[in-house]
Structure 1
Amino acid sequence: MSLQSIKYQRGSLEILDQLLLPVVSKYLTVRGVEDGWKVINKMQVRGAPAIAIVGCLSLAVEIYPEEFGNKKSLRQEIEGKLNYLVSARPTAVNMKISADELITLANELTKDDNVTVEDMKQRFLNATEAMLEKDIADNRAIGANGAKAILEHVAETASAAAAGPVRVLTHCNTGSLATAGYGTALGVVRHLSELGKLEHVYCTETRPYNQGARLTAYELVHEKLPATLVLDSMVAALLRVKNVAAVVVGADRVAANGDTANKIGTYQIAVVAKHHGVPFYVAAPLTSIDLQIPSGDHIIIEVRPDREMTHVGEHRIAAPGINCWNPAFDVTPASLVTGIITEHGVFKPSALKAEITKLLNL
């Protein structure tokens, strides 16, 4: 059974504190938007899909017990607080897209004279709650589409005798702890396992925050998948000797041209994969694809505190006085990406904008 990082019922929201994993499993109560902003900013909840879901649900639990005198005041509450939540971690686009969609809904309901203020509140709550179920369904579709793409590539390039279960590499955490459930890139790994086609999965440590070592490894052990942890500096050696069939990673934002922002360290893995002829896939729902920005040059990269590099817990590991540069993400150029795995299929970066525009009827 997959781990549950988000526990929600109407009026109540709890999140699994990911700063304490893998040693302690503790749920935190999120009582409203301030709590939501803090748990996102402090990375007690992380992963682009989970950030959007927790952010929106934090507003849902805040307004649930409140009574609003008119629709205008409710709309102002929704718009102001959703825009505030977007500022908690700006690189991941999912929160911004979800906020824009919910603000649009609030504006439409405000203008509709047939909708009462209570109706408007209920429809807003329904829309935020629907995000949970949709995310899981989308992730399962991503898993199926990604597994199919990897296995088809293996079948095309390997002899019949060599086309058995595959080995894959993943970076950072993209599973149940980063989503509403199942996962994006880790969802692909799960689906390969469900098909009996996963020989082994390698996960990186993902310095400096160690999401791979702490979280992905925790999920893989929990679900008894055949897995090995490697240091970030070992990827080139791993691809050279371990016959890895594919690299599959998640995304915090994908630009219209297929450039992809993901956890720091992703770019160098893509370069190494290209050198070794290993396909490099990005697994992301449509909510992570931002057609409003033409390329990765326009993606805002969050820079995190020095302490994440200089300390492990309370123990200093870096020389006092050394300067630090700690970007949380890097941008992998589209030229290094084999395919972008979405809930609607796998697209080449060069065709991404046209395909997504067609799907969304833009």
Structure 2
Amino acid sequence: MLQVESVRYLKEENQIIILDQTLLPTKEEYLTISTIESLWEAIVKLQVRGAPAIGIAAAYGAAMAAQKLDVTSYEAFNQEYQAITAYLASSRPTAVNLFWALNRMEQIVKDHSHQSVAQLKVQLIEEADLIKKEDAQMCKQIGEHALTLLEDGQTVLTHCNAGAIATAQYGTALAPIYLAKERGMTLRVYADETRPLLQGARLTTWELMKAGIDVTLITDNMAAMVMQQGKIDAVIVGCDRIAANGDAANKIGTYGVAVLAEKHGIPFYVAGPTSTIDMDTKTGSEIPIEEREAIEITNGFGKQTAPDGVKVYNPAFDVTPHELITAIITEKGVIERPDEAKMRAMFGE
């Protein structure tokens, strides 16, 4: 198992330590976060990224900021705390884990209005710790369920990074890969580079190689060819939000991989914890899609690759319709050929 923590909280110092993922793979460096402003910036800049990791970081950020509130009444504390969570929630719009985690933290404040401010501050740290612990447990269970769909010796294609550094531990899409390694099985991985920010090239290959797992990097536009050549047995991707009908939002390019997988008769799996399930969003068309700055495409990693003034469209995510998804894998189990009825049967209203 990869021994790297993407997010951790130092209780005595009241600081958050995050792995700066923008510096990988050439530098493994950690940022010390002391304010919600610096955390907000780290989330926006993708220094901390991956839907579950963003949720964990936001939970700790809310708890960290709460420790600094110099008020004694519940009313004053609650008012200032609401401003903290609203600010953190404005950092990125697509990954529902961010809002899920902040809502859990807000619920702690609501449910313990009878306690002192000092007690509330302790409760918030404990809840953030619990969110992180639960994420690690959920990811391992996702891996267990995903392994039932794979066979020893198979090769999996993945897109973007849904590994250990995107979560508390194990990852989502990569969880079965790590579990297979622990159990002496062999699962090989092809990783899409994942344009334009190269999360597959920079992050997925880095963490898999660090864990001693066989990984091959390809450019995004090679996926069709490697499928045609029979090199891929299954596709597993993570997700940032799953709608009530099973439509799944993930890093831009995922939808195209799903279309290719269907064309070549390859199962396409989406892995995610229940924190990514959004039963209040009816279909994928209602999922807000983050659009990022043009410079990520025109001047990626500091090198200009497009003419000055060119128009750019840069959505960070796309939505894969549930009809293209062979199964959704969560810690609760596997939903084959997902639709709204199956989603509601497992996750309720």
What TM-score do you get using the length of structure 1 for normalisation?
0.91
> Conserved in 2, the CA contact under 8 Å of 1:203 and 1:217?
yes
1:76 lines up with 2:82 in the alignment: no
Identify if the C-alpha distance between structure 1 residues 96 and 199 changes in structure 2 by more than 3 Å, giving closer, same or farther: closer
Q: 2:192, 2:220 within 8 Å by CA — same for their partners in 1? A: yes
Runs of 4+ with >6 A deviation:
none
1:94 pairs with one of 93, 97, 108: 97
The aligned counterpart of 1:31 is: 34
What is the match of residue 169 of structure 1? 157
Q: Residue 352 of structure 1 is aligned with which of 327, 330, 343?
A: 343
**What whole-Å deviation, never above 9, does each CA across 1:223-282 have from its counterpart, x for those lacking one?**
110110010000011111134221000000000000000000000000000011100000
Count of matched residue positions in the alignment of Structure 1 and Structure 2: 343
Contact 2:197 2:300 in 1 (8 A): no
Report what 2:220 is aligned to: 232
CA RMSD of aligned residues (A): 1.4
Shift of 1:150: 2.7
SS at match of 1:59: helix
How far, CA to CA, are the matches of 2:332 and 2:154 in structure 1?
23
- Work out which of the residue numbers 302, 324, 331 in structure 2 matches 1:314: 302
What is the CA–CA distance in structure 2 between the aligned matches of 1:99 and 1:60, rounded to whole Å? 10
Q: Distance in 1 between matches of 2:98 and 2:143?
A: 22
User: Which residue of 1 is the match for residue 43 of structure 2?
Assistant: 40
- Identify the residue that residue 142 of structure 1 maps to in structure 2: 142
1:5 alignment partner in structure 2: 6
Q: Secondary structure at the match of 1:101?
A: helix
**Does the CA-based 8 Å contact 1:71-1:120 persist in structure 2?**
no
Give 2:256's aligned amino acid: Q
Aligned to 1:258: 246
The answer to whether the 8 Å contact 2:284/2:321 transfers is yes
* 2:177 is aligned with 1:189: yes
- Find the counterpart in structure 2 of residue 279 from structure 1: 267
Identity of aligned residues (%): 40
Distance 1:226 1:242 in 2: 17
Taking the TM superposition and a 5 Å limit, the aligned residue runs for 1:296-307 are: 296-307=284-295
Distance between the aligned counterparts of 2:186 and 2:91, measured in 1?
Answer: 37
SS at match of 1:313: helix
User: How does 1:144-163 map onto structure 2 within 5 Å?
Assistant: 144-151=144-151
Normalising by structure 2, report the TM-score. 0.95
Task: Give the CA deviation at 1:9.
Answer: 2.4
Q: Deviations over 1:5-63 (max 9, x none)?
A: 12322122111111111111111111121111110011111110011111111122222
Measure how far apart 1:68 and its partner are.
Answer: 2.6
Provide structure 1 residue ranges, at least 5 long, that are not aligned to the other structure: 152-163
**One-letter amino acid of the structure 2 residue matched with residue 313 of structure 1:** F
C-alpha distance in 2 between matches for 1:216 and 1:269: 17
State the one-letter code of the partner of 2:196. Answer: P
Partner of 2:52: 49
Stretch deviating more after TM superposition (191-200 or 242-251): 191-200
Q: Secondary structure at the match of 1:73?
A: helix
For 1:192 and 1:88, locate their aligned partners in 2 and report how far apart those are by CA, in whole Å.
Answer: 35
Q: Aligned partners of 2:300, 2:86: CA distance in 1, in Å?
A: 33
Consecutive unaligned residues in structure 2, runs of 5 or more: none
Aligned-residue offset at 1:67: 4.1
